[in-house]
């Protein structure tokens, strides 16, 4: 394991209290495009995707050992956990969202909408009612690099909600160009969704019935800020992978800080026993930084 100097840029005084180790750890190097980090508190390990190599890797927090978690892996991209600690994965190659049961078997959550195959599910998040929300751009079917080249069967790239009771798949937002990372606010009243092609993050109000209203632009990116994965901390600040950095936004939409990295970032997650260790997937590497920030606890975990 090697380290690099931590580069925090304070862009607003509200970011001044954010700090952490003075060096960022590089826990692993050797992926083609690292994505989808998810931390398992019960086992103290992290799983992430290496999309072009069609594999998922596993890093053990207690030993520092990295091994193969799954290969082939359906060219998996984004990953998250459900209320029972089961792995939810977006599989580019199989064009589906799946759940890995505790016995290792795979359950398909969604692979079609109105009888047509999904494009290539990208990232997912689980709400406290058990519904699985995911984005569906076409990156996995544009070529054989991140999946399998194929025709797009659905006219558009949407945000979906898979019902936990009926299993039905509903479109909750249909006006995105390339929807990508998504995350709920700590109280689940808001849903943030990145649109990589449009270079912005939008925010929606979430109704009790699972429908969305609003959708205003929360953050505008520059030419270098292709917003990707999103996570929130327990104060409601929005952290997003963008270019060669992780950006931090105040809940009012102000860009307040930046963590610079030497590679293009894809995603991040808060983990560790106190949820104050930031794990970042970036191009060839998995990075880690112990911070003064605590990741938001899912609503169901706080009950």
User: Residue 276: is its pLDDT beyond 90?
Assistant: yes
Q: How far is 239 from 217, CA to CA, in rounded Å?
A: 16
Q: How far is 146 from 194, CA to CA, in rounded Å?
A: 20
Identify the CATH number of the domain in which residue 28 sits: 2.120.10.30
Q: What percent of the chain has pLDDT over 70?
A: 98
Q: Is the pTM of this model over 0.75?
A: yes
Q: pLDDT digit string (tens) for 120-162? A: 999 999 999 999 999 999 999 999 999 999 999 999 999 999 9
Q: pLDDT digit string (tens) for 203-229? A: 999 999 999 999 999 999 877 789 999
Note the pLDDT of residue 1: 72
* Model confidence band, residue 165 (pLDDT cutoffs 50, 70, 90): confident
Q: pLDDT digit string (tens) for 22-37? A: 999 999 999 999 999 9
**Paired strand residues for 88:** 80, 99
Note the pLDDT of residue 300: 61
| Residue in 134, 52, 121, 53 with CA at minimum distance from that of residue 92 | 121
Q: Does residue 87 sit within a domain?
A: yes
Q: Does residue 86 sit within a domain?
A: yes
Q: Check 54, 123, 136, 228 and give the catalytic one.
A: 228
Q: Does residue 296 sit within a domain?
A: no
Q: Is 7 annotated as a binding residue?
A: no
> For residue 12, which phi and psi values (nearest 5 degrees)?
-155, 145
Residue pair 212/191 in contact (Cβ under 8 Å)? The answer is: yes
Q: Does residue 257 sit within a domain?
A: yes
Q: Is 250 annotated as a binding residue?
A: no
Residue pair 71/120 in contact (Cβ under 8 Å)? The answer is: no
Residue pair 181/194 in contact (Cβ under 8 Å)? The answer is: yes
Note the pLDDT of residue 301: 67
For the segment 241-256, the average pLDDT, to the nearest whole number, is 97
Mean pLDDT of all residues in the chain? Answer: 96
Q: Does residue 301 sit within a domain?
A: no
Q: Domain containing 269: what range?
A: 3-290
Strands, E assignment, 250-284: 255-260, 265-271, 277-282
- Provide CB contacts within 8 A for 25, sequence distance 6+: 1, 2, 3, 287, 288, 289
Q: Is 228 annotated as a binding residue?
A: yes
Q: pLDDT digit string (tens) for 37-69? A: 999 999 999 999 999 999 999 999 999 999 999
Q: How many domains does the chain have?
A: 1
Q: Does residue 303 sit within a domain?
A: no
Residue carrying the six token digits 């998996």: 76
Q: Is 267 annotated as a binding residue?
A: no
* Model confidence band, residue 303 (pLDDT cutoffs 50, 70, 90): low
User: Residue 273: is its pLDDT beyond 60?
Assistant: yes
Q: Does residue 153 sit within a domain?
A: yes
Q: Does residue 298 sit within a domain?
A: no
Residue pair 70/94 in contact (Cβ under 8 Å)? The answer is: no
- Provide CB contacts within 8 A for 58, sequence distance 6+: 45, 46, 47, 66, 67, 68, 69
User: Is-catalytic flag, 136?
Assistant: no
Note the pLDDT of residue 302: 57
Q: Is 35 annotated as a binding residue?
A: yes
């Amino acid at each position: 394991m090697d380290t690099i100097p931590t580069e925090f840029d304070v862009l607003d005084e509200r970011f001044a209290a954010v700090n952490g180790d003075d060096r960022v750890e590089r826990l692993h190097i050797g992926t083609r495009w690292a994505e989808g980090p998810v931390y398992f508190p019960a086992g103290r390990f992290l799983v992430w995707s290496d999309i072009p190599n069609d594999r998922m890797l596993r890093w053990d927090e207690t030993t520092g050992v990295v091994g193969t978690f799954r290969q082939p892996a359906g060219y998996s991209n984004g990953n998250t956990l459900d209320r029972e600690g089961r792995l939810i994965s977006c599989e580019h190659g199989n064009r589906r969202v799946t759940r890995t049961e505790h016995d290792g078997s795979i359950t398909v959550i969604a692979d079609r909408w109105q009888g047509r195959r999904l494009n290539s599910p990208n990232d997912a998040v689980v709400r406290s009612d058990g519904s699985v929300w995911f984005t569906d751009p076409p990156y996995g079917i544009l070529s054989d690099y991140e999946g399998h080249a194929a025709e797009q069967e659905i006219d558009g790239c949407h945000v979906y909600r898979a019902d936990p009771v009926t299993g039905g798949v509903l479109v909750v937002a249909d006006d995105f160009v390339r929807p990508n990372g998504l995350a709920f606010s700590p109280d689940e009243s808001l849903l943030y969704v990145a649109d990589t092609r449009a270079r912005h993050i939008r925010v929606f109000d979430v109704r009790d019935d699972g429908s969305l209203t609003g959708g205003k632009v929360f953050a505008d990116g520059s030419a270098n800020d292709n917003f990707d994965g999103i996570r929130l901390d327990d104060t409601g600040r929005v952290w997003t992978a963008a270019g060669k950095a992780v950006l931090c936004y105040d809940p009012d939409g102000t860009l307040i800080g930046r963590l610079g990295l030497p590679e293009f970032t894809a995603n991040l997650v808060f983990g560790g026993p106190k949820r104050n260790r930031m794990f970042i997937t970036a191009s060839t590497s998995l990075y880690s930084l112990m911070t003064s920030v605590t990741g938001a606890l899912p609503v169901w975990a706080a009950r």
